[in-house]
Structure 1
């Protein structure tokens, strides 16, 4: 951990879920470096949800404290209403308040859609989408009483653009976008803001995505390790939790390598009007020829981001 300290988040208390590794860990460490008191939440499970060994949250806390920061570990699940509330109460009881939540916890159950089972679908949606809801809702009461707060949710290009074998993950991540947008509107009167980040960073989730031969995948991943690191995502998450971002809400950001970018959000792009109304037949005659050039192609993330991250 870089021992250079700043005060962008001085006196703020931040919860980072899924902070035992990858993007969540990098965010937690940078939060502490910027002066925040951090609740490092991680259930300590593998990507598929099985319990692993030593607590990764405790290891991150030790790293933060060794660099002079303040942090406490938490091993509760975000997937359940009661345990999510206990995470927030842990922040309040330990540090006296809660100023921001970064929803980064997640698991994967990748499967081609015709083989995707209901248990695999629900497990992923429960951690990602329900987890974001549970944590945000638990914090909302405190934010309202305090007159302010910040939420940052990790979405994904798997949903925003497209991915193969990840219908459950994509559905959850797009649900998070709608959740964040609604929170930003409902809670604006209380000074609460809510934003999304679609991160590009080498992590266990990136490593697990199928589609390449083992040799090609290793070459691809080694390049990703060097050019898209979790610590390159962390500054954007920290900024969105800081007072410097007090007027930024309801947005979807991306971070890839040394790039940051803003995503557009769905708006009508073409219209057709027929004075006498439409029938299935007239739609068949006119809609496709008129709109074909405006249809969004079935692209994947790597098709859209055609340039290398640097």
Structure 2
């Protein structure tokens, strides 16, 4: 089935360059009407200019698409609400939200200032929360919505010097998991994209030839696949250099030890059995994981209505 976004209205944050720009260009090529959002700051989130967003919007229009530039800060809910209101006034709806805006403040945890930790969490996590909240009721009312959170391998697996970034990025996976469950009845599908791309965030961290192989345009098809009519939901899609993988938060079969006084010692001696990944599963929800533990203890838990 052809991927057709003709007439769909998409907001892409952090779209003034890098990954966001490529996302916006591809979605526009597929027929979507694009709000190119970018505060215009540097990789550390400092400064601001509407030039970057306008340049991408002009690029889309020059190619025959429709786009408008927006300079709202994703950390400011009032500005985000205004962006959504202006989008609806212009095009009548919002079908797609790509939460891509982000900054870096890398340092080892020992050397990191807590202000830098908070700022990175505020931009990545609360920025996505603000934008998702601003479109949520609208998507529920129209019984259609596609939201993409930008997570990272740093969040999924860790990276030295990125405790703030990693914490924010894995938090987005948790946000995705619950919003996907809550939005299901209204055809709102929520997914995560974990990109590996040679953006300015990686400049100086790897050789130039590897950066070239990791061009952001190789990641953009991942976003397109997550926002179409037939998009999945609750998927963590990894993408980079033309390769795509799915990451999962799995659960091992584990062991049941009961609640006796000697459980701590038994557990410490049998942790290898607990960690055995044979026949691991992916629970459908946090409730399912807890229910499984109760079942092992001999109960038959009923799912809350």
**Aligned counterpart, 1:108:** 104
* Kept in 1: contact 2:74–2:130 (CA 8 A): yes
Q: Are residues 1:270 and 2:254 paired? A: yes
Structure-1 separation of matches of 2:275 and 2:91: 56
Aligned match of 2:69: 73
Could you say what the CA RMSD is over the residues aligned between the two structures, in angstroms?
1.9
> 1:273 Cα shift?
2.3
Matched, 1:51 2:47: yes
Find the aligned partners of 2:204 and 2:249 in 1 and give their Cα distance. 28
SS in 1 for 2:203: helix
Q: Determine if contact 1:49/1:107 at 8 Å carries over to the other structure.
A: yes
2:127 equivalent among 127, 131, 152: 131
Q: CA deviation at 1:176?
A: 0.2
Q: Which moved more, 1:172-181 or 1:266-275?
A: 266-275
Deviations 1:142-201 (A, max 9, x none): 101101110011100001011000100000000000001100001111110100010011
Residue of structure 2 equivalent to 1:249 = 233
Q: What SS class does the counterpart of residue 102 from structure 1 fall into?
A: strand
Change over 3 Å in CA distance of 1:115–1:249 after alignment to 2: same
- The more displaced of 12-21 and 116-125 is 116-125
- 1:150-299 aligned at under 5 Å gives the runs 150-207=146-203, 209=205, 217=206, 220=207, 222-245=208-231, 248-273=232-257, 276-284=260-268, 286-288=269-271, 290=273
Flag the 1:183–1:293 CA change in 2: closer, same or farther, 3 A.
Answer: closer
SS at match of 2:98: strand
| Alignment coverage as a number of residue pairs | 276
Q: Which runs of 4+ in 1 moved over 3 A?
A: 274-284, 287-294
69, 92, 95: which one aligns with 1:96: 92
**In 1, Cα distance between equivalents of 2:272 and 2:61:** 62
Residue of structure 2 equivalent to 1:22: 18
Query: TM-score, normalising length from structure 2?
Result: 0.85
Greater mean deviation of Cα atoms: 57-66 or 83-92:
83-92
Q: Measure the CA separation in 2 of the matches of 1:171 and 1:181.
A: 16
Contact 1:201 1:224 (8 Å CA) reproduced? no
The answer as to whether partners of 2:73 and 2:80 remain within 8 angstroms in 1 is: yes
Q: Larger deviation: 176-185 or 197-206? A: 197-206
- 1:52, distance to aligned residue in structure 2 (A): 4.8
Distance in 1 of aligned mates of 2:3 and 2:274:
51
Tell me, in whole angstroms, the C-alpha distance in 1 between the residues paired with 2:256 and 2:145. Answer: 43
- Provide the C-alpha distance between the structure 2 equivalents of 1:224 and 1:153, rounded to a whole number of angstroms: 25
CA separation of 1:54/1:243 partners in 2, compared to 1, >3 Å: closer, same or farther?
closer
More relative contact order, 1 or 2 (CA 8 Å, 6+ apart)? 1
Q: In the alignment, is the contact (CA less than 8 A) between 2:50 and 2:70 conserved in 1?
A: no
The alpha-carbon distance between structure 1 residues 116 and 275, as it changes in their structure 2 partners (threshold 3 A), is closer
